[in-house]
């Protein structure tokens, strides 16, 4: 790696994805993504930067040469990673742990630049809460560069082509962060429609290579924002939103039923799983009949059920 920092222990690095041999190359690639997506004329001089979901500070390591001109902080929910990074890379960098829901332990208007590599790729129900929180901690006109999973990841995640109905679709909701977390697919229009209420969308750059992440560049709008506002469905977008919800429920029902077949016949919880699938099907029917838009509750129930199953004999690597 082109930095003076040591490599982390392999067992910690395993958690953040990517091969250990390529640890430094991945860090460099992330730095290049961030630097290449900064608005024209942007300078690091005197700026305050947050690596949100920094893991072991892999990407920050590649910013070592910038640390003399800008203040870099990294936060993550994984305390052992933050402890290692603090020992190995602080100073010049600052690290702090955070919870899996806001707030961050920092003041409002703290950062000029936030970047999040492979973090919003896995944040499910909490997406709107985290966008509201990033909006809070960003300075006026602050910029964020966020990697997301788009069409280039369809084969890897769905096993088939991108479905044009996708808005925000969640796959492998049951996967814990220790094995990569759930996968969240996001389409261009959905980002513009929902994220665009809090942030100006400066760019959505689609990955050219299959398996690559898309990059979203946003600038803080000086408006008051709330979760409800970001999540709301505008009447003008109802058709597209309904299709997006339908595909999400279809994917979720598919996954639940495959998990159901893995569970049989020994798992004691099959009945509860079947009930969850039935609730989801009912929800889908309600959406198809135009009777309900509220998917959040069954999604949360399914997630809770999966977490319980994970903790039990069904845990999959
Ligand atoms: C795939 S790893 C990427 C780590 C780092 N960004 C990198 O590219 O090296 C995703 C990281 O996001 C962290 N994470 C997940 N949810 C988070 C949250 N709500 N706040 C902060 N970090 C989070 C995970 O603990 C994990 O370290």
- Ligand 1 pocket check for 58: Cβ under 6 Å: yes
Q: How far is the CA of 53 from the centre of ligand 1 (A)?
A: 3
pTM of the model: 0.85
Structure tokens at 248: 């999400």
Report the 3 state secondary structure along the chain. CCCCCCCCCHHHHHHHCCCHHHHHHHHHHHHHHHHHHCCCCCCCCCCEEEEECCCCCHHHHCCHHHCCCCEEEEEECCHHHHHHHHHHHCCCCEEEECCCCCCCCCCCCCEEEEEECCCCCCCCCCHHHHHHHHHHHEEEEEEEEEEEECHHHHHHHHCCCCCCCCCEEEECCCCCHHHCCCEEEECHHHHHHHHHHCEEEEEEECCCCCCCCEEEEEEECCCCCCHHHHHCCCHHHHHHHHHHHHHHHHHHHHHHHHHHHHHCCCCCCHHHHHHHHHHHHHHHHHHHCCCCCCCHHHHHHHHHHHHHHHHCCCCCC
Average pLDDT, the chain: 85
More confident residue, 260 or 60: 60
Residue nearest to atom 8 of ligand 1 (CA): 117
- Ligand 1 pocket check for 96: Cβ under 6 Å: no
96-118: per-residue pLDDT in tens? Answer: 999 999 999 999 999 999 999 99
Ligand 1, residue 81: give the atom nearest the CA.
Answer: 27
Residue nearest to atom 1 of ligand 1 (CA): 16
d(C-alpha 295, C-alpha 248), whole Å? 9
Q: How far is the CA of 98 from the centre of ligand 1 (A)?
A: 10
Mutation test residue for ligand 1: of 63, 76, 146, the one with most atoms within 8 Å of CB: 76
- Ligand 1 pocket check for 73: Cβ under 6 Å: no
258-269: per-residue pLDDT in tens? Answer: 665 544 444 435
287-308: per-residue pLDDT in tens? Answer: 556 544 444 444 554 544 444 4
- Ligand 1 pocket check for 98: Cβ under 6 Å: yes
- Ligand 1 pocket check for 100: Cβ under 6 Å: yes
Tell me the average pLDDT across 132-161.
95
Tell me the average pLDDT across 275-287.
62
d(C-alpha 201, C-alpha 87), whole Å? 36
194-204: per-residue pLDDT in tens? Answer: 999 999 999 99
Mutation test residue for ligand 1: of 13, 16, 23, the one with most atoms within 8 Å of CB: 16
- The β-bridge partners of 200 are 219
pLDDT > 80? residue 39: yes
Q: How far is the CA of 237 from the centre of ligand 1 (A)?
A: 32
Ligand 1, residue 126: give the atom nearest the CA.
Answer: 19
């Amino acid at each position: 790696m082109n930095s003076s920092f040591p490599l982390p222990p392999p067992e910690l690095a395993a958690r953040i994805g990517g091969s250990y041999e390529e640890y430094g190359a991945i860090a460099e690639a992330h730095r290049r993504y961030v630097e290449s997506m900064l608005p024209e004329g942007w300078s690091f001089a005197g700026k305050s930067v947050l690596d949100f979901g920094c893991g072991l500070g892999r990407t920050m390591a590649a910013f070592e040469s910038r640390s003399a001109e800008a203040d870099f902080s990294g936060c993550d929910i994984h305390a052992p990673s933050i402890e290692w990074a603090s020992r190995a890379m602080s100073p010049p960098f600052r690290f702090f742990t955070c919870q899996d829901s806001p707030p961050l332990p920092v003041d409002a208007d703290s950062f000029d630049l936030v970047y999040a590599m492979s973090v919003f790729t896995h944040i499910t129900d909490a997406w709107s809460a985290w966008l509201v929180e990033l909006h809070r901690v960003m300075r006026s006109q602050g910029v964020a560069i966020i990697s997301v999973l788009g069409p280039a990841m369809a084969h890897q995640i769905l096993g088939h082509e991108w479905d044009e109905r996708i808005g925000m679709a969640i796959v492998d909701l049951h996967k814990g962060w220790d094995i990569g977390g759930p996968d969240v697919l996001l389409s261009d229009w959905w980002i513009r429609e929902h994220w665009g209420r809090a942030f100006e969308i400066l760019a959505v750059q689609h990955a050219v290579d299959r398996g690559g992440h898309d990059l979203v560049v946003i600038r803080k709008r000086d408006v008051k924002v709330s979760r409800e506002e970001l999540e709301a469905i505008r009447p003008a977008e109802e058709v597209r939103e309904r299709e997006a919800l339908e595909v999400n429920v279809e994917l979720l029902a598919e996954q639940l039923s495959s998990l159901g077949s893995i569970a049989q016949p020994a798992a004691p919880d099959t009945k509860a799983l079947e009930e969850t699938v039935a609730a989801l099907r009912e929800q889908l029917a309600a959406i198809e009949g135009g009777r309900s838009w509220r998917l959040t509750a069954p999604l949360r129930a399914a997630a809770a059920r999966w977490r319980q199953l994970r903790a039990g004999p069904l845990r999959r690597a």
